[in-house]
Every structure is written in structure tokens, then in C-alpha cells.
Amino acid sequence: MVMAVIFFLGFFIDFLEICFIHIPILTPVLVTHFGFDPVWLSIVLAVNLQTSFLSPPFGFALFYLRGVAPPEITTGDIYRGVIPFLALQLIGMTVVIAYPDIVFMMIRFFRG
């Protein structure tokens, strides 16, 4: 539920506001009261923010791309072009949420 709220907030406000206002309020509650691992929570939040940064209607990355795209590329073309990337992001986020050990697999591999 919290991830859905942060994803929805990413439609309308920039990731900096989410990182500086909402995350410091939510993280202590999620870690202490609900028992989420801080590393896993940070990675899921980062992927969630990145996904919302790409999503229409207010995907800020899409507007940045629109600023450098040739004039014959319309905003609708950009919105349609981002759909496969959004699908991959959502699949990746779903996998990380469903199987949290994936996050720790690389950490365990490099720590030994």
C-alpha cells in the first residue's frame, strides 16, 4: 500500500520532495513497526521512484526527453515508447517485492 502511494505521488511531485518529506516520515515506521529490512526497503523505494519518474501523465523524465527530441517526435510518441520500459520496471519491482532474498543475494555474494 505504501509503495502504491509513493508511486502515485511520483505522478505529481518530483522525487526530491518525496525523498526529503515523505520517506523520512515513512521509513522509521516501516522499519520499526512493520519489520521491513532497511536495505530492501531502500532498494524497493528507489525502483519505485524511478518507475514513477518515467510514468505519464507527469513523468518528469519524459518531459526532459521531449526537450531534446526532434520536432517530428510528439509527446504521444514518447508516452507510447516508454510503455515497454515501464512494464520491465513494474515486473522487476514485483519480483523484488515477492522475493526479497534477491536483494540480499548480491550482498552475500560480495561479502563472502
User: What region, left, alpha or beta, does residue 32 occupy, with left being phi > 0 and alpha being psi -120 to 50 degrees?
Assistant: alpha
Can you give the residue ranges of every domain in the chain? Answer: 2-111
Q: What sign has the CA pseudo-torsion 47, 52, 55, 61?
A: negative
Q: What is the pLDDT of residue 10?
A: 78
Q: What is the pLDDT of residue 23?
A: 87
Under a CB-based contact definition with an 8 Å cutoff, are residues 96 and 48 in contact? Answer: no
Q: Alpha-carbon distance 83 to 49, whole Å?
A: 16
Q: Is it the case that residue 91 has pLDDT exceeding 90?
A: yes
Q: Alpha-carbon distance 48 to 52, whole Å?
A: 6
What pLDDT, in 10s, does the model give residues 24-75? 998 999 999 999 999 899 999 888 888 888 877 777 788 788 888 898 998 8
Place of cell 560480495: 110
